[in-house]
C-alpha cells in the first residue's frame, strides 16, 4: 500500500469516509483513519497493517500491553484504538441472532407452555420481513370466540413491533385437533384484517398434547 502522501485525496481514509461512509474502508484503512499518522520510522499504513494482523491473531484476548508494544504504536495510539473499540461497544451492542421461522414445527418450542392447559390460550407470534422471531405473546385466555379474540388485540403489539407477519396459535384443552367453526372464522377474520394492515397472517396452529395442525395446510389460509 502507498504511503498516505502518495495517495490521491479521494483515496485517503478520512476523505473516503466523508465521501462513501466508513463501511467502504478496509480494516487497515479504518485504523489509519483513527490514528491519523504514523511515526518517523513507521508510516501509518505499516502501523495499521501491524495492528490489523495483531487483532486477527488475538480476536478475543487483545489488550493494551500487546497493542502498545507493536512497532510504531506506543501508549498514545494504543489508547486511541482501545477507546474507539470501547465507544463502539457501548453504543452499538451486538445484535442478537434471531430465530428464523420456516415451518410450523419451528413455532412449537415457543408455545409449549400452553399445551395441556385447561383453558384456551391464544398466542400471537410476531415476525420481521425475514420471518425471524420478534416476540411471542399470550393475547387472551378463555374460550376462543369473536368477542374474546379480536383483531385489534392480535395486531396491536404486531404494529408496535413493526412486524411484517404473524403466526397465531391456540390450544384445545379437549385434546381434539379438529378446528371448530369459530377457529376457521377467526382465522379468516384475522387474515382479512392483516391484509388491510400490511401484516400477513402466515398460519394459525392448533396445539394439544396429541400434536398440532396447521390451518394453512388445511387450506383455511
Q: What is the pLDDT of residues 12-61, one digit of tens each?
A: 888 888 887 887 778 888 999 999 888 888 889 899 999 999 999 988 88
Angle at 160 between CA 87 and CA 91, to 5 degrees: 0
Which three cell numbers mark 41?
A: 520510522
pLDDT in tens, 121-146: 999 999 998 899 999 999 998 864 44
CATH 3.40.140.10 fits 104-214, yes or no: yes
| Residue 102: partners with Cβ closer than 8 Å, 6 or more residues away | 131
Cell of 182: 369459530
Residue 100 DSSP one-character state = B
- Residue 135: closest CA among 105, 166, 108: 166
Alpha-carbon distance 24 to 68, whole Å? Answer: 27
- Torsion angle of the four alpha carbons 102, 114, 184, 165, in this order, in degrees rounded to the nearest 10: -40
Q: 126: which strand partners?
A: 135, 166
CA distances from 129 to 10, 202, 214 (A): 37, 12, 21
Q: What grid cell was written down for 207?
A: 396445539
Domain boundaries, the chain: 4-91, 104-214
pLDDT digits over 79-118, tens only?
Answer: 999 999 999 888 887 767 788 999 999 999 999 999 988 8
The answer to whether the CB of 221 falls within 8 A of the CB of 215 is yes
pLDDT at 1: 57
Q: What is the per-residue pLDDT across 186-209, written as a single tens digit (0 to 9) for each?
A: 999 999 999 998 899 999 999 999
Cell of 112: 409449549
- With CA atoms as reference, report the closest residue to 133 among 99, 159, 108: 99
Amino acid at each position: 500500500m502507498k504511503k498516505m502522501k502518495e495517495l490521491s485525496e479521494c483515496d485517503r481514509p478520512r476523505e473516503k469516509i466523508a465521501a462513501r461512509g466508513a463501511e467502504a474502508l478496509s480494516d487497515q484503512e479504518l485504523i489509519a483513519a483513527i490514528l491519523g499518522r504514523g511515526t518517523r520510522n513507521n508510516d501509518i499504513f505499516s502501523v495499521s497493517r501491524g495492528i490489523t494482523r495483531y487483532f486477527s491473531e488475538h480476536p478475543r484476548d487483545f489488550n493494551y500491553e500487546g497493542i502498545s508494544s507493536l512497532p510504531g504504536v506506543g501508549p498514545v495510539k494504543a489508547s486511541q484504538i482501545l477507546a474507539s473499540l470501547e465507544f463502539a461497544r457501548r453504543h452499538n451492542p451486538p445484535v442478537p441472532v434471531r430465530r428464523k421461522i420456516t415451518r410450523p414445527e419451528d413455532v412449537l418450542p415457543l408455545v409449549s407452555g400452553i399445551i395441556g392447559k385447561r383453558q384456551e390460550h391464544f398466542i400471537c407470534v410476531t415476525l420481521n420481513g425475514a420471518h425471524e422471531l420478534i416476540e411471542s405473546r399470550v393475547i387472551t385466555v378463555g374460550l376462543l370466540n369473536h368477542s374474546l379474540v379480536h383483531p385489534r388485540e392480535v395486531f396491536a403489539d404486531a404494529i408496535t413491533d413493526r412486524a411484517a407477519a404473524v403466526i397465531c396459535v391456540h390450544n384445545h384443552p379437549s385434546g381434539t385437533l379438529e378446528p371448530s367453526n369459530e377457529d376457521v372464522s377467526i382465522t379468516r377474520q384475522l387474515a382479512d384484517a392483516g391484509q388491510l394492515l400490511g401484516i400477513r397472517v402466515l398460519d394459525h396452529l392448533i396445539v394439544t398434547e396429541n400434536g398440532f395442525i396447521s390451518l394453512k395446510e388445511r387450506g383455511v389460509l
